[in-house]
C-alpha cells in the first residue's frame, strides 16, 4: 500500500504492482478511481510509484518501463519510456524533474543510485550519488540485492539515500555534488555482517525510508523484528524459511527515529506494531501513514505527525 498527498487533490492511494489509483479528499472522502489494466492511454500494467507534480499525476509503470503523465481527472496527457536499471521510488526535485532511486542486482559493482529525469522528455540527464562508483560491492550489499532507500522529502534541490542494511545515509544535490552524511552506531540498528538464519534468528533490521523536515531533522523509518517474532509460523521456500502468508504484521514492527542534524542528537522514536507504516510528503514536511482498523474492524488509513 502506498499513499501520496497533494495540496489540491488530497490523498492518492495505490498498491505497488496494481493498475488503479484511488483519490480521496483531505477529509478522507472517496472521490474517484483512475487508471486501469491495459496498454491503452491512461492504462497500466504495474504501478511502481505515483506523485503529483505541478498539477499533473506522474505514474511510473514498472512493467511498461514508462513514465505516464495524467491530468488531475485521470485523463491521459503523454508518456515517456525510460532506461533505468530497475524500478525505484520517485522523488520530485523541482523544475519539472524527478529523481528515481534504484540500482540493479545484476552486477557486482557499485552504481550511481540516483537518476535525474527530465519530465518533459523522459530523458535521464544525470546519474549520481556514489562516490565509489565502479567499486566491487560487499558481500552484504550483494546479499540484500544492492537495494537502497531514498528520502521522500528533503531540502530543495537535494536527495538523501542509503543502503537498506546500514544506518549510514548521505545527502547529495541534484547537480551531483556530495553534501554531507549521517553515520553512527545505533544500538537498535546493528550492523549486519551476514543474513540471519530465519529458522532460529530474528529478521534483520533494515532501512525503509528517509525524510528531512523544515527544521533539518532527519526521519529514519526502519523495519525491525516484532518482540514475538519467534511465535510466527514459517514456510520453507527455495531461498530458505520465510513468514507464513498474511503474518507480516506479527513478524515485523516499524520504528521511526528522528535526529537533529544541526545538534547531532537523537530526538525521539515511535514504534508501530505492524508492517504498513510508511513516510508521506505533505507539502515538504514529512508525516507517517499506516493502515489500521476501527473498533468495527473497518480498514482506514491514519496519518501521524510528530512533535517534541
CB 48 within 8 A of CB 60: yes
Q: pTM above 0.85? A: yes
More confident residue, 178 or 144: 178
Q: 11: Cβ–Cβ under 8 A, 6 or more apart, which residues? A: 3, 4, 5, 23, 24, 25, 26, 28, 301
What the chain holds in terms of domains, given with CATH numbers, is: 1-81 (2.40.10.480), 83-304 (2.120.10)
pLDDT digits (tens, 9 = 90+) for 97-145: 999 999 888 888 889 999 999 999 989 999 999 988 899 887 777 877 7
Q: What is residue 87's predicted lDDT score, i.e. its pLDDT?
A: 81
Instruction: Compute φ and ψ for 248, nearest 5 degrees.
Output: -60, -40
Q: What is the mean pLDDT of residues 214-230?
A: 96
- Lookup: cell for 197: 538464519
- Lookup: cell for 176: 551531483
Q: What is residue 181's predicted lDDT score, i.e. its pLDDT?
A: 93
173 burial (CB, 10 Å; 0-12 / 13-18 / 19+) is middle
pLDDT digits (tens, 9 = 90+) for 250-294: 999 999 999 999 999 999 999 999 999 999 999 889 999 999 988
Q: What is residue 308's predicted lDDT score, i.e. its pLDDT?
A: 58
Amino acid at each position: 500500500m502506498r499513499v501520496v498527498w497533494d495540496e489540491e487533490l488530497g490523498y492518492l492511494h495505490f498498491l505497488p504492482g496494481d493498475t488503479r489509483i484511488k483519490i480521496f479528499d483531505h477529509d478522507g472522502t472517496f472521490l474517484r478511481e483512475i487508471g486501469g489494466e491495459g496498454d491503452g492511454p491512461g492504462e497500466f500494467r504495474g504501478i511502481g510509484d505515483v506523485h503529483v507534480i505541478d498539477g499533473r499525476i506522474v505514474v511510473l509503470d514498472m512493467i511498461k518501463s514508462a513514465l505516464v503523465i495524467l491530468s488531475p481527472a485521470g485523463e491521459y496527457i503523454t508518456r515517456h519510456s525510460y532506461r533505468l536499471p530497475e524500478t525505484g521510488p520517485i522523488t520530485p526535485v523541482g523544475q519539472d524533474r524527478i529523481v528515481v532511486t534504484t540500482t540493479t542486482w545484476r552486477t557486482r559493482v557499485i552504481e550511481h543510485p540516483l537518476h535525474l529525469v527530465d519530465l518533459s522528455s523522459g530523458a535521464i540527464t544525470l546519474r549520481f550519488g556514489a562516490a565509489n562508483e565502479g567499486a566491487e560491492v560487499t558481500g552484504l550489499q550483494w546479499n540484500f540485492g544492492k537495494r537502497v532507500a531514498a528520502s521522500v522529502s528533503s531540502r530543495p534541490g537535494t536527495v538523501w539515500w542509503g543502503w537498506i542494511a546500514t544506518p549510514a545515509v548521505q545527502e547529495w544535490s541534484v547537480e551531483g555534488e556530495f553534501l554531507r552524511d549521517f553515520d553512527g552506531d545505533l544500538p537498535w540498528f546493528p550492523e549486519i555482517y551476514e543474513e540471519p538464519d530465519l529458522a532460529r534468528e530474528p529478521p534483520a533490521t533494515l532501512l525503509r525510508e528517509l525524510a528531512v523536515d523544515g527544521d533539518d531533522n532527519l526521519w529514519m523509518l526502519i523495519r525491525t523484528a516484532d518482540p514475538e517474532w519467534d511465535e510466527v509460523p514459517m514456510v520453507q521456500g527455495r531461498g530458505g524459511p520465510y513468514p507464513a502468508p498474511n503474518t507480516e504484521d506479527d513478524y515485523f514492527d516499524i520504528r521511526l527515529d528522528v535526529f537533529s542534524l544541526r545538534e547531532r542528537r537523537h530526538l525521539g522514536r515511535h514504534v508501530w506494531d505492524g508492517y504498513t507504516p510508511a513516510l508521506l510528503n505533505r507539502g515538504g514536511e514529512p508525516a507517517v501513514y499506516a493502515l489500521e482498523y476501527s473498533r468495527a474492524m473497518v480498514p482506514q488509513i491514519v496519518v501521524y505527525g510528530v512533535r517534541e
